[in-house]
Structure 1
Amino acid sequence: MFFFLVRYYKKDIEEVSTPGKKRKKRPQEGKSLDTVDDFTVNAIRNAIYRMYAEGLNVTVDTILKEIRERQIDYYGGRSSLHKLLKKMGFSWTTVDGRKALIENENIVLQRIDFLRKYKEEKERGTVSKSWQDKSLQSAKRRTVGDGKRFIVVNAGGRTGFVPGAGLLFVSGQKTADYHGEMNGETFLMWFEDMLVHLEEPSVIIMDNASYHSTQVEKTPTTNWTKAALIAWLEKNGIKHENNLLKVELLRIAKQNKPRIRYEVDELARNYGHEILRLPPYHYHYNAIELVWAQCKHHYNSNVGRAKRFDNDAVAAIWKEALDASTPERWARCVDHVEKLIQADWERKVHRQRHHSSTHHPPRRG
């Protein structure tokens, strides 16, 4: 079974006043790039891929034109799009005397690695179900006053949400940055409780959020003191001279840097599960994004009918939203994501074969 773990960014609609008239402000108009939601980012990325496949000239202007023609939910201008592309892992390079947009090689390699491992697990035949998880969500209480938020944590898959894996608690923050409520310790406690409820071995797919990435043993960085570096080298039995400069000790440490081990990976293996991490900016490989969008819509549409706005009332309405996500709905979302993964893999294989057939090594002699 597969299990995905990602973050969700809420996109609010703001009411603004103009003389004699009220209008709804466009979701991303006048806001920072942080408010551009994952679905929009994925739509832009796919538009760029299509332009590559069709052999079109890919520039900021042509991408912006493609976004407008395809009516993608992005309202920024040329300058904002340029910044967003860099944030998405794209960069500009000179090819044949002109600027061309390319994707960061590290992101490409991580995507290929993810696609390959995902397909290998599917083809092994030992995985019979597909599990996804959503570790963090925000449900805001609709009252004028304290602006209290409730953090919702749950897991699910093709057959629906995992029984007993749900968690809802009141956020201690007044801001929309509810991700700060989740830290490594809190996440591990919930994660282990969720693992207990998984009846079959699972491939757990998650992103690289900080609370997913607490290391079993921290590895040296430039922030370490010389004494700390020496202690780490001695602990790991790495030869060195104590009279070396800090920069020299750090170089030796990096040359002998072990494979990073995450606490969550070790915990999953203890229960017979494996973890596969999503490549950066690829939340569209996560079926739970579609499920959570439907849950949020149900919650927002029904929370206003609550006669009171205490914790129990909010929890009851959110439970309704989760119950509305039937196994049939989950199955459709999982099928949709797996089609995307398969299409991306086939496209990558096709590009590699095309590249190999059109680029021959020079003849000798």
Structure 2
Amino acid sequence: MAADPHQSTSAMNYAFMSPDVYNVKFKETMHIISRVVQQCTEEQSNTPLPCNDYLQRASKYTGFDTKMLAKYANSDDPHVILKYQEADRNIIYQELSNFYLNKKIMPTTRQLFDALYEKIPVYIDIRNFRKLLVKMGYAWKEIVPYGLVIMEKPAVTYERYHYLKKIMEYRKEELPIFFVDLRCENGKKAGPLYFLYAVSKCSIQAIDTYEFNQDLNFEKWVEKSLLPIIPPNSVIVMHNAYYNNEQIRKVPTINSYKQDMIEWLEYNNIPCSRSLSKTELYTLVEKYTNCNEKLYKSDVLIKNHGHKVLRIPKCIKEVAPTRLVSEAVTKTVLTKNPKIITTLLQDIPMDWLKKYDQFIAEQERIIFENDMKIDSIIDDLCETMKRFNTKADPDSDLPSCSDSE
């Protein structure tokens, strides 16, 4: 059965955990091993033991909070930790909004971490919570004399604003909207199976399946399967993903050849001279990069046929009806027979799709209005906190960009 459109996304259970979760747990395992070895080494020269309380000692070894360790120690289920899923950005966004709009303060790392203690995975301590915030597009702003507080990076906020404003306009104009996605499912007896599809409020169409070793060509699928079936002046919405991110003219990096930089500048009608040094050419590339929209092959193909393209920001990637498809497929016993997936998707009732589309539209409106409220008060919050008499606890262990990757 398909997911209830009014059920919160955090409450939905999935049959398959994303690879990111396994990566996080693997990194956490290695971090714990490293920490235990380090603490045992230090303990060799310490008599008596540095901590007599077993929870404090376990906390010293693992880096986990004593409250979390107590919960695990008192559980009869040896797999209690494995039941926790990856951290949900939406939960962090909601709690941060609560600090801004209701508590009227900008939180420190510790304040936000404590407020989210019961809502984030137990394998995340405050050190890794900081890294998680960086990955999710948050940063720290220094409020003198109060200290460092958390806020979303302006580029992330603007990307979300631009997307929500556009899709709300398209909905108001009643344009046909199709959400495109690529799913990968693992059958119990078969290997991975990829399938591309487009979902609207009326139906799921253009379903094509691919074996693991097949060469998936997104532009070919758009041209042969998607474009022939969608009405004129449609809106195609998709995630930023490896399969649809091939650029017509990729922006050079500092490591690119000089000739590649010249060709990029000439392609974008930016005056330059071949006598300029590589450093001077790259300075021009950096200066004008943000002034030129990335030209993706798939976007150009779709636009050339009279349609519009939107890309869902990573920060709200779940605000799309493709979640309904995910629910429908992962709760079904899969085999490697593509017809089963195709039939399953085509049989999702139209009223479910309409309800879910309404639910997504409502979520878009709520997030947009919430962002506007925060935007209207954020400057005043900064000024108010500058007048605080107290100072926040020091936050000296901030991660670098490389730490979060």
Answer whether contact 1:205 1:278 (CA < 8 A) is retained: yes
Distance apart, 1:77 and its partner CA: 2.5
CA distance in 1, matches of 2:166, 2:349: 28
1:209 to 222, 238, 241: 241
Cα shift at 1:350: 2.8
Identify the match of residue 117 of structure 1 among 156, 166, 172: 166
The match for 1:293 among 327, 340, 350 is 327
Shift in alpha-carbon separation, 1:341–1:182, aligned structure 2, 3 A: farther
Provide the rounded CA distance (Å) in 2 between the counterparts of 1:237 and 1:283: 34
How far the C-alpha of 1:158 sits from its partner, in A, is: 0.8
Greater RCO structure (CA 8 Å; 6+ sep)? 2
Q: Distance in 2 between matches of 1:57 and 1:204?
A: 37
Q: C-alpha root-mean-square deviation of aligned residues, in Å?
A: 3.4
1:333 aligns to what?
A: 356
For residues 294-345 of structure 1, what are the alpha-carbon distances to aligned partners after superposition, in whole Å with 9 as ceiling and x for unaligned? 3211x2xx34xxxxx5x33xx3442453245221221222112111111122
The percent identity for this pair of structures is 21
The residue number in structure 2 matching 1:53 is 101
**SS of aligned partner of 2:199:** strand
The worse-fitting range, judged by mean Cα deviation, of 225-234 and 187-196 is 225-234
Separation of aligned partners in 2, 1:229 and 1:27 = 48
Q: Measure, in 1, the Cα distance between the counterparts of 2:239 and 2:124.
A: 27
Unpaired runs of 5+ in structure 1? 1-7, 15-20, 30-34, 173-180, 304-308, 361-365
Q: How far is 1:288 from its partner? A: 1.2
* Count of matched residue pairs: 310
- Rounded to whole Å, the distance in 2 between the matches of 1:169 and 1:290 is 21
Report deviation, 1:235. Answer: 6.1
Q: Which residue of 1 aligns with 2:17?
A: 11
Alpha-carbon distance in structure 1 between the residues aligned to 2:287 and 2:358: 43
Deviations 1:166-192 (A, max 9, x none): 1112213xxxxxxxx776xx1111122
Name the CA distance, whole Å, in 1 between partners of 2:326 and 2:142.
Answer: 41
Distance 1:225 1:46, change over 3 A: same
Residue 222 of structure 2 aligns with which residue? 191
CA distance in 1, matches of 2:329, 2:303: 31
After TM superposition, the structure 1 = structure 2 runs for residues 1-365 of structure 1, keeping only pairs within 5 Å, are 10-11=16-17, 23-24=78-79, 26-27=81-82, 36=86, 40-55=88-103, 58-69=107-118, 71=119, 75-96=123-144, 97-123=146-172, 125-127=173-175, 129-134=176-181, 136-143=182-189, 148-162=191-205, 165-172=206-213, 186-192=217-223, 193-233=225-265, 239-255=271-287, 258-297=292-331, 299=332, 302-303=333-334, 311-312=336-337, 315-354=338-377
| TM-score normalised according to structure 2 size | 0.66
1:359 Cα shift?
10
- Rounded to whole Å, the distance in 2 between the matches of 1:64 and 1:93 is 17
Check whether the contact 1:157–1:330 (CA below 8 A) recurs between aligned residues: yes
TM-score by length of 1: 0.73
Distance 2:266 2:344 in 1: 54
Larger radius of gyration: 2
- Mapped to 1, the partners of 2:153 and 2:314 lie a distance apart of 11
CA distance in 1, matches of 2:138, 2:194: 33
Distance 1:339 1:255, change over 3 A: same
Structure 2 unaligned regions, length at least 5: 1-13, 23-75, 384-405
